[in-house]
Amino acid sequence: MRATWRGLPARRYEAGWEPGLVVPAADGSPLVTDHYFPRADGDFPTLLVRSPYGRGVPWAPMYGLLFAEQGFHVVLQSCRGTGGSGGAFHLWRHESADARATVSWLRGRPWFNGSLGTIGPSYLGYVQWALALDPPPELKAMVVQVGLHDPRALLHGDGALHLETALVVALGMTHQHRGVVPFVKATLRLQRHLRGVTRARPLRGAHATALGGEVPWLDEALSHPDPEDAYWRGASLAPAAERLDVPTSLITGWHDVLADQTIAQYGRLRRAGCDTALLVGPWTHTSALQQGWPEVFSESLAWLRAHLCGDPSGLRPTRVRLHVGGDDTWRDLDDWPPADTGTPWYPAPGGHLTRQPPTDGAPLADFRYDPADPTPSLGGQLLSRTAGARDNAPLEAREDVLTFTSAPLTEPVDVLGPVTARLAVSVDTGHADVFSRLCDVDERGRSTNVCDGLSPVQAAPGVSAHVTVPMSSTAHRFAAGHRIRWQISAGAHPRYARNPGTGRSPLDATEFTPVRITLHADSALFCGDSALFPDRG
Say what the pTM is.
Answer: 0.95
Compute the distance between CA of residue 296 and CA of residue 137 in angstroms, rounded to an integer. 27
3-state secondary structure of 167: helix
> In this predicted structure, what is the pLDDT of residue 81?
96
Helix axes 180-198 and 163-175, enclosed angle (nearest 10): 150
Query: Which helix (H) or strand (E) is 163 found in, with range?
Result: helix 163-175
Compute the distance between CA of residue 353 and CA of residue 443 in angstroms, rounded to an integer. 17
> In this predicted structure, what is the pLDDT of residue 341?
59
Exposed/middle/buried for residue 442 (C-beta within 10 Å: 0-12, 13-18, 19+): middle
> In this predicted structure, what is the pLDDT of residue 347?
97
Compute the distance between CA of residue 498 and CA of residue 195 in angstroms, rounded to an integer. 13
> In this predicted structure, what is the pLDDT of residue 2?
54
Average pLDDT, the chain: 94
- Type of residue numbered 166: A
73-104 per-residue burial string, b: 16 or more CB within 10 A, e: under 16: bbbbbbbbbbbebbbebebbbbbbebbbbbbe
3-state secondary structure of 439: strand
> In this predicted structure, what is the pLDDT of residue 529?
56
Peptide bond into 456 cis (omega under 30): no
- Look at strands 402-405 and 363-369 and give their pairing: unpaired
> In this predicted structure, what is the pLDDT of residue 343?
78
Compute the distance between CA of residue 266 and CA of residue 271 in angstroms, rounded to an integer. 9
How large is the C-alpha radius of gyration of the chain? 24
* Chain Cα centroid distance, residue 10: 31
> In this predicted structure, what is the pLDDT of residue 537?
58
Mean pLDDT, consecutive 10-residue stretches, the chain (537 aa), reads: 70 97 98 98 97 94 97 98 95 95 98 98 98 98 98 93 94 90 91 92 91 89 91 95 97 97 97 98 96 96 98 96 96 89 87 92 94 97 92 97 98 94 95 97 98 94 93 96 98 96 92 96 83 46
Please write the tens of the pLDDT for every residue from 154-165: 999 888 999 999
Whether the CB-CB separation of 121 and 53 falls below 8 Å is answered with: no
Compute the distance between CA of residue 220 and CA of residue 431 in angstroms, rounded to an integer. 25
> In this predicted structure, what is the pLDDT of residue 216?
86
Residue 433 β-bridge partners? 456
Q: Which of 402, 478, 473, 467 is nearest to 431 (CA)?
A: 467
> In this predicted structure, what is the pLDDT of residue 310?
96
3-state SS record for 355-422: CCCCCCCCEEEEEEECCCCCCECCCECCCCCCCECCECHHHHCCCCCEEEECCCCCCCEEEEEEEEEE
DSSP 171-233: HHHHHGGG-HHHHHHHHHHHHHHHHHHHT-SS-TTTHHHHHTS--HHHHHHHT---TTSGGGT
Distant-in-sequence, close-in-space partners of 305: CB < 8 Å, separation ≥ 6: 70, 311, 312, 313, 314
* Chain Cα centroid distance, residue 111: 35
